[in-house]
Each structure stands twice: as C-alpha cells, then as structure tokens.
Amino acid sequence: MSGKCCVVTGGRGFAARHLVDMLIRSDKFLVRIADLPPAIDLSPEEENGDLGRALESGRASYVSMDLRNKPQVLQALKGAEVVFHMAAPHSGINNYQLHYSVNVEGTKNVIDACVELKVKILIFTSSASVVFDGIHPIFNGDESLPYPPKPLDSYSATKAEAEAAILKANGTNGLLTCSLRPSSIFGPGDKLFIPALAESARAGKSKFLIGDGNNVYDFTYVENVAHAHICAEQTLSSSGEAAEKAAGQAYFITNMEPIKFWEFTGNVCAGLGYERPRIKVPAIAVLPVAHAIQWAYNLLGTYGMKLPVLIPSRIRLLSGNRSFSCAKAHELLGYTPIVSLEDGLKRTIESFSHLNAENQPKREGESKASLYLGNGKVADTLLWKDTKKTLIVLLVLIGIYYSFISSNTTIITATSKLLLMAAIFLFVHGRLPEKIFGYKIEKIHPSDFYWTEKKSYQVAHVLASFWNAGINILESLCKGKDWLLFLEVVLSLLIIGFIGTISLHSLFVMGTLSFFYQLLYLAF
C-alpha cells in the first residue's frame, strides 16, 4: 500500500480510537496501531466499519507493544515517519510507580526510538492537568502557565515530566515534536466520566454537587481532540517557517466553549433521564473525608480495595475553576473545533442510550444511607426527605450550640440552663391559645412524661445488669489472675480519663463532624 506510515501508541484507547478512524478516513497514512494486548479485539461496529476494512486491506495493522520494553518500542516504530504518542495508564489509577514507568520511562523509550529510527514527527498527548494543582483557579489560562510545585496527582505529575522530555527532544536528529493538552475529554466510547456519572446517578447520588456549583470548566469533544492531532501533524509536516514556529511547543486543546462544570454534568444527567445536581456540599467539608478515604485506600489498596470515587484530587477537580485559551493552537496549528459542545453532548448521550434511566432495572427499597439510619423519622429528617422537620432540627441544634456549647459551660451549668429553658417553654406553651392564625397548637399533657411500669422495669433491669457486670469484673480483679481483663480495665479508665479532660465544646465538634462525615460517605 502507498502512503507514509504513522504509529498511534495506545491506539485502542478512548481518544486514540477516534484518531485512528480519522487517519484511516484521510487515506494519507498507513496506520499502525500499537497497544498492550497481544491481539486486536474489534467490536461488531468496528469489524464492519472503516477499521475492519483497513485491517483487511493492509492500510491498517496492529502490533502488540509495551512502552516499558524498549526493543518492542523500536520494533513498533520501525519505518514510521509520524508517531502519535497517546498511550498512558488510566488517569484514575492512584499508582505513582505505574504512571512513572509508563508515562515517563515509556515516553523516554519512544523518544529514543524516534531519534534512532529517524522519525520525522512526534506528537504527544498530554493533559491540561499538568498546570493545575487543584488549589489555584485557572481562568482562560495560556501556555505560559508553569508546572505547579505540587501537582494534582501522580498522573498529572508524570504527564508533565513526560511532556518536558518531549519538548526538549525537539530538533534532535531532525525530529520535530509538540505536545497537545486536551481538557476533560468526553464523547462516544468514554469509559470513565459518563459511565461513572450514570452509575452515581443510578445510586441516587446525582442530586449532590460539590462546591458552590459556579466553577467554570473546559470540556473537549473527543473528535476535536483527534482533529487537533491531525492539525499538528499537518503543520509540522509542512516545510518552512510554520513548522519551525509550531515545533517544540505545548498547546491547550478545548472546545473553546467554557461552561460551568455542574451545568455540563446536569445536562448529561438530564439527557440520560436522571436528576440534576441540586444539593450543594461545601468542598471544605468533604476534603477531610476524602483524605481519610485516600489514606484507607493507600493502606488497603494492595489487598484488593477498589479506588474510591471520593478522593482529594477528584474533589479539587470537581470544585475548582479551570478554563484554557486555545489562541496559540489556533494561531500556530490552525486548530478550530469541528464539533460544537452542544452537538458533542447530543452525540455522546445518544451513544450511551444503554445507560439511560429508562433502560435500567428499578431499584427497590430505600437507599443505603436511609437503611443505615433506620429508615424512619430520623432518616427522613437527616436525609432532607421532610424539609420542615430538618429545618426545625437544625434550628434547635443551633440554639443548643450557642446556648450550651460555644460558651464553654460546665455540664452542671449546661444541665441547669437546659432545665430552665424547658420550664420556660412548657409554661409559655401552656398559656398559648388552642389556635394561632388557623394553626392548631397541640398541648403537652403531663402524662406524656410518665413512665409506665413496664418501661420503669426495663430501665431498672438495664441498670442492674450494668451494676452486676461491674461487680463481676471487680470479683475477677480481686483474684489477681486475669491479666487481659486487668489491661482492658486500665485502658478503659485511661480513655475515660482522657475524654474527661476534653471540653464539652470539643466533644460536640468532634461528634458532629464524625456524624456529618459518615453521612457524606454514605451519600457519595
């Protein structure tokens, strides 16, 4: 077959598949797909489409390659004029060693192979996250932004290091390089964002949003990412000043249509038939939980624990502002999106029709959080099912906090205040008329406070049981033989003594935070 040869590393990945299809349709290249699996596995649509026909005719071929194996990289790139280096591990995998071995060491193998084999053009697929630390917002950021001292995660850190090596290699033995930084890729074939969002929505979690909901984001339709690679190749393969100016540079790639992150997410949810996010949860309240979950994953990940959704880097991504300017890519590469954000979203939702709410089995029973809370009035109040009751409880808790907790009162003073307030409330409540503005006032009868003989017996039985258990422990201690029991008693008393030194205010704060974080964990 005639035409120059190009190689797409990670050619079976999400964005890479779209680039391969675009390259095949251009009839300009012999396309070599390089990826980890020993053989290519085509879907029925691919087998009957352009890719299947190209593989059958010889215009496309597949080679198994591990970036960490330099001889395999040399073999895969042999005879190529252009290399699109798109291979990378799953960005959600929290494994620095894996990311470093593939993104950094693997990329160095690709660079060395390109130099040795005299490849003309090397185009690297980086990420907009290489300049985002999750703390400092980015509005219409350009390529002058430096790499942050503390990267967002191991994926971003290793991508930045690989990108720096790619740009540094420009001009070595005639090799022209550049790096493309797409921001938040979405589209048909996505195995990360859309499926995870649909799964969360099915679990009833789509109603929550993290932050104030106004953080601006840049999303990029996958075909625009593939188109940007084509633009880069055309520019670098052209002779003259245009190629020289474009080479050795990094470029942000977006749809050029910044949008609020949660508006876009809401559009996806609504398009799939799920509830839009509406309940705002402050990011500052979620981060401590995320750090705790991250710590647990770091400890238990090697034993099979799956990577949780609620980790610090994702919280920062979901609540931060990050939009980028494509002026440089437009000026030097001639890049302009070929699919609008609206059309891209429409095509994406249509391609995920199997995830539509109408096609999912109906979930029976209450949510996990509701079951944990007893599935009654407490659950209705804490999970905002009964808004009126929830607001009343919040007001009562705020009143208790400012009356007893924030003032650092002692337990005796707090008890006295509480009884005083109860007496005032009961007296005022008793003097109220039976109706106020049409609302009936239910009177409190003294009998409501009486304990029945059965209840009194149950309470006395519980107290007696505790007392007898304590006597049994004392009896065992007097024998001086049970060392384990002795240590348990000593440890328990030390813990009680430590808790006794903590102020009422501190106990309240710790208890409230612990309870709130548990609810968040159940919700997300």
Q: Which residue has the tokens 């209705």?
A: 380
Q: Does residue 159 have an active-site annotation?
A: yes
Beta bridge partners of 29: 4
Distance between CA 213 and CA 211 in Å, rounded? Answer: 6
Q: Which residue has the tokens 């967002």?
A: 152
378: Cβ contacts below 8 Å, ≥ 6 apart: none
- CA-nearest of 327, 349, 351, 337 to 264 is 349
The amino acid sitting at 295 is W
Distance between CA 520 and CA 481 in Å, rounded? Answer: 46
DSSP class of residue 352 equals T
Task: Report the DSSP pairing between strands 216-217 and 259-260.
Answer: antiparallel
DSSP-assigned letters across all residues of 248-268: TEEEEE--S--EEHHHHHHHH
Q: Collapse the DSSP code of 207 into the 3-class scheme (helix H, G, I; strand E, B; otherwise coil) and give the result.
A: coil
Distance between CA 247 and CA 153 in Å, rounded? Answer: 28
Distance between CA 80 and CA 117 in Å, rounded? Answer: 8
Alpha-carbon Rg for the chain, nearest whole angstrom, is 31
Do the Cβ atoms of 64 and 33 come closer than 8 Å?
A: no
Distance between CA 244 and CA 248 in Å, rounded? Answer: 8
Q: Collapse the DSSP code of 465 into the 3-class scheme (helix H, G, I; strand E, B; otherwise coil) and give the result.
A: helix
229: Cβ contacts below 8 Å, ≥ 6 apart: 19, 84, 123, 125, 180
DSSP-assigned letters across all residues of 147-179: PPSS-SSHHHHHHHHHHHHHHHTTTGGG-EEEE
313: Cβ contacts below 8 Å, ≥ 6 apart: 134, 152, 153
The catalytic position among 159, 205, 260, 377 is 159
List, by residue number, the catalytic residues.
159
